[in-house]
Structures are given as C-alpha cells and as structure tokens.
Amino acid sequence: MACVVGILAATAMSPGRTTRFPTEIATRRSALATLVGVAPFALDVLASPRAARAFENGVAEMDKYKDKPKQRGPKPNDIGLKTRVINADGDEAVGAVKICGGAPNCFTTTGDMAMPGDSEHLIPFWRPPKGASAEAAMRDVVDVLKAYTPGQSGIDGGGFKIVTADAGYVYAQFESLRQGYIDDLEIALAQNGGDALAVQVRSSSRLGYLDFGVNALRLNAISKELRARGWTAAEITPKSHAQYWALNAPRR
C-alpha cells in the first residue's frame, strides 16, 4: 500500500517506504542570524517568556491586560525535524515536522490524506518560485515573518518572536492578546524528489481544543505574502477545511 505523505501524492518515497525530507542542506546559521538581526548564539533564547508579556512587539492594547494571568503553556518537547510515523501502516517520514493531534487547532504538511483524523489538519507543501535556491527560499520566509503584523485579523495581539532560524528550519512563537496563549509555528525545507524545493509548515496551539480560526488566519497571512513573492502556498478556506471552520468561528 503506497504511503501518502502530507497532501501531495507526488512526494518521492525511498525503497524502504520511508519518505525523506533532507536536512543535509548546507547550514548557514550565521547568514540566517544576520537576516533575523541577532547573533547566531542568540537565536535559541530569544523567546524567554516574562511574567507580564512574552514579546515586546504586541499591540498597544496589550498593556490593558498586563496584570491578567497568562496561559502560555509549556513549549512542546517533540517539535522539530524528526522521523515521524505518519499512518496506520507504520510508514515513516524522515526529517519531518510533527503531525497534528485530534483537536481542530493545528495545521501541518505531515500526515496521510487517507486517514480521517489527518485530513482536516493537512495542508499542501508551500513551494518557492521555480529555480529558487534553498537560501533564497528561507530568506523569503524570514523576511515575511519579520514583517508580520501582530493584531492582523484580530489575532496575535501579544506579539511574536522568531526563536530559531537555521538554513533549513525556522521556529517562531505567537502570543494571544488577552490570555497570553502561545502558538508554535515551524517552517522547514523539504524536497519533493529531484531538484524541486518544497517547504513544510506546522502551526499549532499549545492549550485548549478550539483555536477560533487563529492558526488558519496566521498561516493565511503568511502565505499571502509569500504568494506575492511568487510562491505557491494554498489558503486555508471553508472549502478546503470545512470541519475546522465549522467548529472555529474566527474571533475578531
């Protein structure tokens, strides 16, 4: 039985029915650190939450809630690029972002479209313009994230921070305005066979069951900016993810 990785049937499989998302692309940590605007050694410690606020780029209204208890939740210890079992047959993806759980508060490019529990969480790989280099693709990702507007679509009013940026992997955290909920975003290089670049994505809430459309609205804002740069990055709509939107009326 052929494995379906993410939502793309064209993803190349190795002889051992193991999908590989190569992480061997040459690391240029210093170059990416320059893009983010910090020293390389600081990338992993940028988002140390403080008692009142986690990040300094939240909207002005954030000060109204500075004394309100925050529900940030612990950073997941199983995110990052790992070997993931992606379906009931035990097929694996190497160097992949994590699959989503059962709650409608997560999207990912890793999983099996044939699995009912995965279908509402899966999104297609994002693809940079044809001929783009891996370095150029990740530069686009970092530039778009740096320009992200806290409070857009009524979400992420508490601000955000790029925590880690390597040559093939970017990890960022986003905070809600009132309760201080923190969501985790990962964007990482993959390869869809041959020389075609593809990019993995995962955006997920740490706490709660519903997300009120937050993860979709965040990814839609980021993908829109990438599409303006020539990327192929599908929007998450009520047509593409009907159950998710039925459960999550966006909170403006």
Q: How confident is the model at residue 27 (pLDDT cuts 50, 70, 90)?
A: very low
pLDDT exceeding 70 applies to what percent of the chain?
A: 75
> Which of 21, 31, 239, 241 has the alpha carbon at shortest distance from 110?
21
Residue type, 215: N
Mean pLDDT over all residues of the chain? 79
| 213 assigned to some structural domain | yes
pLDDT of amino acid 109? 94
For residue 59, the domain's CATH number is: 3.30.310.80
| 19 assigned to some structural domain | no
Round to whole Å and give the CA distance between 202 and 181.
17
State which residues form the domain around 181: 27-74+122-247
Quote the number of domains for the chain: 1
| 236 assigned to some structural domain | yes
Q: How confident is the model at residue 51 (pLDDT cuts 50, 70, 90)?
A: very low
Question: Is the sign of the CA dihedral 152, 154, 155, 161 positive or negative?
Answer: positive
pLDDT of amino acid 55? 83
pLDDT of amino acid 177? 83
| 39 assigned to some structural domain | yes
- 102-116, 120-134, 187-201, range with the lowest pLDDT: 187-201
pTM: predicted TM-score of the whole model, two decimal places: 0.78
Round to whole Å and give the CA distance between 162 and 173.
7
| 183 assigned to some structural domain | yes
Spatial strand order in the sheet of 159-165: 106-108, 197-205, 182-191, 169-175, 159-165
